[in-house]
Amino acid sequence: MTTINNIPNNPRPKLKLYTVSVIVMVLSLLSCESFIEVDMPQSELTGNAVYEDVTTANAALADIYARMREGGVASGTSFGGTFLMANYADDMDFYGTNTLNEQFNKHTLLPSNANLLRLWNTTYGEIYAINALLEGVQSSAAITGDDRNRLLGEAYFLRAFNYFYLVNLFGDIPYITTTDYELNAAIGKTSATEVWNNIIQDLLLAESILPESYPSSARVRANRATVHAMLARVHLYTQNYSQAEAYATLVIESGDYSIDTDPAAAFLKDSPSIIWSFHPGIEGQNTKDATTYNFTSGPPTKPALSVNLYDSFENGDLRKTNWIAVISNPNGTWYRPFKYKLNAPTPESQEYTLLLRLEEQYLIRAEARAFNGNIPGAQADIDVIRTRAGLPATSAATQEELAAAILQERRHELFTEQCHRWFDLKRTGNAESVLSLIKPNWQMRDIWLPLPEAELSLNENLLPQNPGY
């Protein structure tokens, strides 16, 4: 710049230049509105774009499965329905300092309980994602044929599965089928009867469009047999025994499933009895359930398996020795569920959380047959389960005895799995007689969980609260 010193000082013509410059400057500014257009970030996609491509639609579906594994009614995490309701029923004795779980275990549940709200919100969050997928795929021009059927079928199945748990836990519930938040924010309750009908409708729709084969290498996604297994369960719960028997038979006789004779292998990911399980996510991980229940010395700092349950097993029951861990020291003896044995990652994943397995189908059919008066058939189905457990054939011979035997067998077979025990006690009318003996705070209101208080204050159309809360 020092070389330009000698240019003559001549401001007048320059002033014109400034004026022109300023005008051009101002004019150029006025056309800058496009400056504030921004790119979408690479980590986000708009809702429409997701369903213009099968790959992203599959990713949206994968996320729904994964979210159900990480939280909600069937999750094995310490906030999931499995653990909370195992406490609520007589599967678990309370230890530790977690007052939120304590309220479930001791039946002092408050509508303000944060785990209750979390269970509710997580599950409805999953239902939103399912409805978004249904709407997206239905209106997509790009997803057609088998892909379309498979995506829709799995979504209908997952919606039915979630509502099955909600209706059993809460009774009358808001039944959501759209993504319109204005509608959903002010929705009222739908009667339990109607919800049950809707569940069956969704399952029948899924049955009609899902393929027989699994879309995944392992049995971690829904196929037609999965829907049949669920239909068997739903019909049993609604006491439609002939349908329950028919669907259970479809699964049992499909030839795709069998029961491994070794109870120790029942919860491995390759177990032939698996109809549907949660993939643990990243290869090498195992179940959430194993970590949730795990403790290695006593007294435990979290709930332990109920002593009452442990003591109720018959002598020689292989499930007692294979599926329960015993922790002893001079101060005492404690038990914990040991169906899933791996509470840490392994080089390759070995255990998946099981959601539907053939053993349950035998027990469903046993119960359906018993109530339909087919006593030998019922006995035969129970004995399939008892034989694997190393027990003699059942001595129950009447419908009443069979009902009691099946309840007991279900307790021993399905303990700490997805609310089974609580639902069994409730639907068979045994909740009060069994739980009032071991839970001093038991009240009749406990048949239904309370609706979360925060939810009621945000949407008064959900009032009234379930009775007694």
Partner 1 sequence: MKNLSLNKGRPSCLCIFIFTILLSNQVFASRLTFGSYAQQTQQQITGIVSDASGPLPNVTVNVKGTNIFTSTNEKGQFAITASSTDVLVFSFIGFTTQEIPVGTQASINLVMAEDSTQLQEVTINAGYYSVKDKERTGSIARIKSADIALQPVSSPIAAMQGRMSGVNIIQSAGTPGSGFSIQVRGINSLRGTGNDPLYVINGVPYASQSLGSNEVSGGLFGGLSNPLSSINPADIESIEVLKDADATAIYGSRGANGVVLITTKKGKAGRTRFDVQSYTTVGKITNKLDLLNTGQYLAMRREAFENDGISEYPEDAYDVNGTWSQTRNTDWQKELIGGTANIYNAQLTVSGGSDLTQFLLSGTYRKETTVFPGDAHFNRGAAAVNITHRSEDDRFRLMFSANYSGDKNTLPGIDLTRQAYTLAPNAPALYDDAGNLNWENGTFENPLAQLNGNYINTTNTLVANTMLSFKLPAGFEAKTSLGFTDSQLSEVRSLPYTIYNPVSGFTSAMSEMVVNDGKRRSWIIEPQLTWQKKWDLAELNVLAGTTFQNQEQEMLAIDAYGFPSNALMNSLSAATTLTILRDEQSDYRYNAFFGRINAVIKDRYIINLTGRRDGSSRFGTGNRFANFGAVGAAWIFSSEPFLEQTRSVLSFGKLRASYGVTGNDQIGDYQYLDTYQITPNVYDGVIGIQPTRLFNPKFGWETNKKFEAAMELGFFQDRIFLSASWFRNRSSNQLVGVPLPGTTGFPTLQANLDATVENTGFEFEWRSENFKSKDFSWITSLNLTIPRNKLLAFPDLETSTYKNRFMVGQSIFIQKLYHYTGIDQDTGLHTVEDVNGDGAITAAEDLTSFIDFSPKYYGGIANQLTYKNWSLDFLFQFVKQKGAAMTNSFLVPGAFSNQMSQVQSHFPVDGNAAVAQLYTTGENADAVQAYNNFVLSDAMVQDASFVRLKSLSLSYTLPSLWSPTTSARIYLQGQNLLTFTKYEGADPENNSAYFLPPLRQFTLGAQISF
The minimum distance between CB 25 and partner 1, in angstroms, equals 6
Per-residue x/- marks for partner 1, 269-298, CB under 8 A? ----------x-xx-xx--------xxxxx
Distances (CA, A) of 18 to 6, 26, 28, 111: 21, 12, 15, 73
> Smaller CB distance to partner 1: residue 120 or 371?
120
Of 263 and 300, CB closest to partner 1: 300
Place of tokens 């639907």: 427
Minimum distance of partner 1 from residue 97's CB (angstroms): 7
Q: Which residues from 61-90 bind partner 1, rule CB under 8 A?
A: 62-67, 69-70
Q: Report the nearest approach of partner 1 to the CB of residue 212 (Å).
A: 19
241 alpha carbon, distance to own chain's centre: 25
Minimal distance, residue 267 CB to partner 1, in Å: 19
The answer to whether 393 and 402 have CB atoms below 8 angstroms apart is no
| DSSP secondary structure, 98-140, as one string | -HHHHHHHTT---TT-HHHHHHHHHHHHHHHHHHHHHHHHHT-
In this complex, which beta carbon is closest to partner 1, that of residue 103 or of residue 361? 103
Compute the C-alpha angle 71/423/100, nearest 5°. 45
Alpha helices (H) in 172-261, listed in sequence order:
181-185, 192-209, 224-237, 241-252
Site for partner 1 in 211-250 (CB under 8 A): 216-218, 220-221
Residue 452 near residue 120 (C-beta atoms within 8 A): yes
Q: What are phi and psi of 346, to 5 degrees?
A: -125, 165
Q: Total binding residues for partner 1 by CB under 8 A?
A: 111
Among the residue ranges 23-31, 222-230, 243-251, 312-320, the one whose residues contact partner 1 (CB under 8 A):
23-31
Q: How far is the CB of 389 from partner 1 (least distance, A)?
A: 28
- Which phi and psi (to 5°) does residue 325 adopt? -100, 140
The mark string for 294-333 relative to partner 1 (x by CB under 8 A, - otherwise) is xxxxxx-x-----------------------------xx-
Q: According to CB under 8 A, which residues from 108 to 147 bind partner 1?
A: 108, 110, 112, 117, 120-121, 124-125, 127-129, 131-132
Both structure tokens of 93: 């004795």
Residue 197 found at the interface with partner 1 (CB under 8 A): no
In the list 171, 272, 345, 377, the residue contacting partner 1 (rule: CB under 8 A) is 345
Stretch that binds partner 1, among 43-51, 230-238, 316-324, 365-373 (CB under 8 A): 43-51
Closest CA to 119 of 181, 162, 174: 162
Nearer to partner 1, 33 or 253 (CB): 33
Q: Which is nearer to partner 1, 45 or 246 (CB)?
A: 45
* b/e per residue 280-297 (b: at least 16 CB within 10 A): beeeebbbbbbbbbbbee
Stretch that binds partner 1, among 138-146, 181-189, 191-199, 358-366 (CB under 8 A): 181-189
Mention every residue, 6+ apart, whose C-beta is less than 8 A from residue 162.
68, 72, 73, 123, 126, 127, 130
What residues form DSSP beta bridges with 268?
351
Select the span of 104-112, 143-151, 192-200, 204-212 touching partner 1 (CB under 8 A). Answer: 104-112
